[in-house]
Structure 1
Amino acid sequence: MDTGSPPTRTHMLSGLRPDLSVTDPAFIAAHRLVGEVGAGRPVILRDGDKAVLASPLDGGPILSSDLAVSGPRAGYLGLAETPTILTAPALDAALLMRLASASDIDLGSIAVREGGAVAHAATELAKLAERLPAMTLGSVADAPADSLAADVREVLSFRRRLAETVTPVATAEVPLAAGATANVTAFRNAVGGCISAVAVGKLSQGSLVRVHSSCVTGDIFGSLKCDCGAQLRLALERIAADGGVLLYTAQEGRGIGLVNKLRAYSLQDRGLDTVDANIALGYHDDERDYAAAAVVLGHLGLSDVRLLTNNPTKAAALQACGITVTPVPLIGPVTPQNANYLATKRSRSGHRL
């Protein structure tokens, strides 16, 4: 395949109508709540005629001893795997943090009740803001006068609606160390999140594709704890040689963000594997969403791809978005530092290694 400079696709950058979500007041309200929680400020969540004040446990004011935790965290604590409200016997910040993130804790006198849509939306909001998925809950009567509010349904649909707003905004040719000149296009969603498409050669149905999740520690720092950096380099070498496209997505730590990935690393140092460490923090094993990647592939004219991956979940997620996928193995080196990590990928997450 010709791996010279690909034709530019500047036509993708004009004539596109913005998704109507960006002007929808409900979408805007949910977006603003993500920003407020990211900044550590409490917000109001409405569910029908009920409303609560919710504040991120890590960085926000503690409103009460009522703590909303996610389904994975509740399951890790031996409860039903559904969003749950835990009530401590006293307003104890250290205890609340242990309830949200400790790998070993006895619930003892902690009261437990089903959290419903409010707890679900609160923990989803914290995830969207890359906070620990645990929020203290309080009365709206105590809300600051300038507190922002949104309906729980808008919060729970925000991630999907956000993926639909992804559009191409800039493109340029970039010479790669891997030995080819790529056409790099930046795609941006309505709140500024970016996916980079690094394309070599003329794309067509069946092109080689790598959907790579950002990994600061592996891709940039050269961490030996994972195989992410090695997979990135191998994928770029394959694409430089054979043509295709690499999508670089901002989904650090399987979608939990850098801060929480480092928290997970700390739990791994205490004996948990990568799966249990994520679950202990209130996340699913893999929180990544591939809807935005599928939208980018659509913009590139690709509905049938050869996907560089060992992860059947990634392939299935793209297929669920309407992309026909033929998996192509991408096996990196096994080292003493990443051997356990790779073994966990294989035995617990079903990766074909």
Structure 2
Amino acid sequence: MPTHSVHDCGHHGAGSVSPLGGGAMVSEAVVDAVASAGFIAAHRCVGEIGAGRPVVLVDGDRQILVSPLDGGPIVGDTLALSAARATFVGIADGPAFVRVTGADPATLTLIATACTPDLSIAEVIEGGDLANAATELAKLAERLPAMTVGDAASAPAGTLSVAAADVLSFRRTLAATYVPVASAPVPLAAGATANVTAFRNAIGGCVSAVAVGDARPGTLVRVHSSCVTGDIFGSLKCDCGAQLRLALERIASDGGVLLYTAQEGRGIGLVNKLRAYSLQDSGLDTVDANIALGYHDDERDYAAAAVVLSHLGLGKVRLMTNNPAKAAGLESFGVSVTPVPLIGPVTPQNANYLATKRHRSGHRL
């Protein structure tokens, strides 16, 4: 079969365009957003939180100092908790600040991660956008979505600051910046030569498109989230590796495109996925383990995948998935989706995992 070439990619939609890396084009509005002081501040603050350093969050006249609970300095006696975590422990219906009596690191960690923490030492304070932005910043840095909170006036010299609104808009703005930057033919063990194209965003994140045959509307597509444990190590705890191999076999045989996206552990990252595994070993299922850590059941966002599909001219796809939320996620960004089942083997090790997918997440298994 002929391989799809990145040079065939057209520009979809009206409006002026500008280059953003690799010679590809994105809209002027996206270029302006990425060049804005707010986007740059958010990007830098994600890096600071990832490195375990505190930043100042600003919302109007309100300012707070926030620091990642896992690996950063404790900057106050208050925690910012995500809506998922606050709901899980029954203290609020949305993101919240929680002032903790005797706020040593061990106590704070129990409030943020224990299945049944001692809430008699916790006082809930209004959260709103500041608490939401604090935990979103932690998620973007793949930290535990719990931040210690202190007085902004106590921030060390040189501490960076960012507006809460810029943190909350960062993820969606970034997704719009994916452009193709490199492409080459790659022979696959599944039995075909694919054209593999790397799409890079404005800060260096990558989505790989593995295409066999001509990419045209109605093409068979798999949007696969990276899974180090399943795809690389061959873990039997999930069906990710089996689904990846099955998808590549179908694409090699019938033609199609596989997008490999960096959304490990349903978007929570490898470190937090391993934390969730530990909670599963203590009796929680996959859904509750993620929620207990402060995440939603599924944190994945399909905006980037939709942008890459648009670059490939694929506004209508046959999507290899058992997950209605994945189909709905792509459709929310204008991709027309016809689901195609992708059923991997059931093993003693992944039976409970698959049952949770079916009963709690609505997967068609």
Matched, 1:323 2:332: no
Q: Report the Cα offset of residue 132 of structure 1.
A: 0.1
1:41 matched residue in structure 2: 53
Residue 331 of structure 2 aligns to a residue in which SS?
A: helix
1:205 matched residue in structure 2: 217
Q: Report the Cα offset of residue 7 of structure 1.
A: 4.2
For 1:83 and 1:99, locate their aligned partners in 2 and report how far apart those are by CA, in whole Å: 14
For 1:191 and 1:133, locate their aligned partners in 2 and report how far apart those are by CA, in whole Å: 22
Q: Report the Cα offset of residue 91 of structure 1.
A: 2.4
Give the TM-score normalised by structure 1: 0.97
1:81 matched residue in structure 2: 93
Residue 240 of structure 1 aligns to a residue in which SS?
A: helix
1:193 matched residue in structure 2: 205
Is the Cα–Cα contact under 8 Å of residues 6 and 180 in structure 2 kept in the other structure?
no
Which one of 260, 265, 269 corresponds to residue 253 of structure 1?
265
Is the Cα–Cα contact under 8 Å of residues 24 and 181 in structure 2 kept in the other structure?
no
For 2:190 and 2:2, locate their aligned partners in 1 and report how far apart those are by CA, in whole Å: 14
1:27 matched residue in structure 2: 39
1:128 matched residue in structure 2: 140
Q: Report the Cα offset of residue 116 of structure 1.
A: 1.2
Is the Cα–Cα contact under 8 Å of residues 83 and 94 in structure 2 kept in the other structure?
yes
Q: Report the Cα offset of residue 15 of structure 1.
A: 4.9
- Point out 4+ residue stretches in structure 1 off by more than 3 angstroms: 11-15
Aligned residues: 350
Matched, 1:299 2:311: yes
Deviations 1:296-331 (A, max 9, x none): 000000100000000000000100000000000000
Matched, 1:241 2:253: yes
1:113 matched residue in structure 2: 125
Is the Cα–Cα contact under 8 Å of residues 318 and 339 in structure 2 kept in the other structure?
yes
Q: Report the Cα offset of residue 9 of structure 1.
A: 2.2
For 2:312 and 2:325, locate their aligned partners in 1 and report how far apart those are by CA, in whole Å: 22
Is the Cα–Cα contact under 8 Å of residues 5 and 183 in structure 1 kept in the other structure?
no
Deviations 1:128-167 (A, max 9, x none): 0000000011111111111111100000000000101111
Is the Cα–Cα contact under 8 Å of residues 42 and 61 in structure 1 kept in the other structure?
yes
Q: Which moved more, 1:194-203 or 1:18-27?
A: 18-27
Are the structure 2 counterparts of residues 214 and 56 from structure 1 closer, same or farther at C-alpha, using a change threshold of 3 Å?
same
Residue 44 of structure 1 aligns to a residue in which SS?
A: strand
Identity of aligned residues (%): 69
Deviations 1:178-231 (A, max 9, x none): 000000000011111100000000011000000000000000000000000000
Is the Cα–Cα contact under 8 Å of residues 68 and 122 in structure 1 kept in the other structure?
yes
Which one of 175, 185, 188 corresponds to residue 163 of structure 1?
175
2:14 matched residue in structure 1: none
Residue ranges of structure 2 left out of the alignment (5+ in a row): 10-21
CA RMSD of aligned residues (A): 1.1
Matched, 1:56 2:50: no
Q: Report the Cα offset of residue 109 of structure 1.
A: 2.5
Residue 108 of structure 1 aligns to a residue in which SS?
A: helix
Q: Report the Cα offset of residue 17 of structure 1.
A: 4.6
Q: Report the Cα offset of residue 79 of structure 1.
A: 2.3
1:6 matched residue in structure 2: 3
Residue 120 of structure 2 aligns to a residue in which SS?
A: coil
Q: Report the Cα offset of residue 8 of structure 1.
A: 2.1
Q: Report the Cα offset of residue 65 of structure 1.
A: 1.1
For 1:42 and 1:15, locate their aligned partners in 2 and report how far apart those are by CA, in whole Å: 36
2:195 matched residue in structure 1: 183
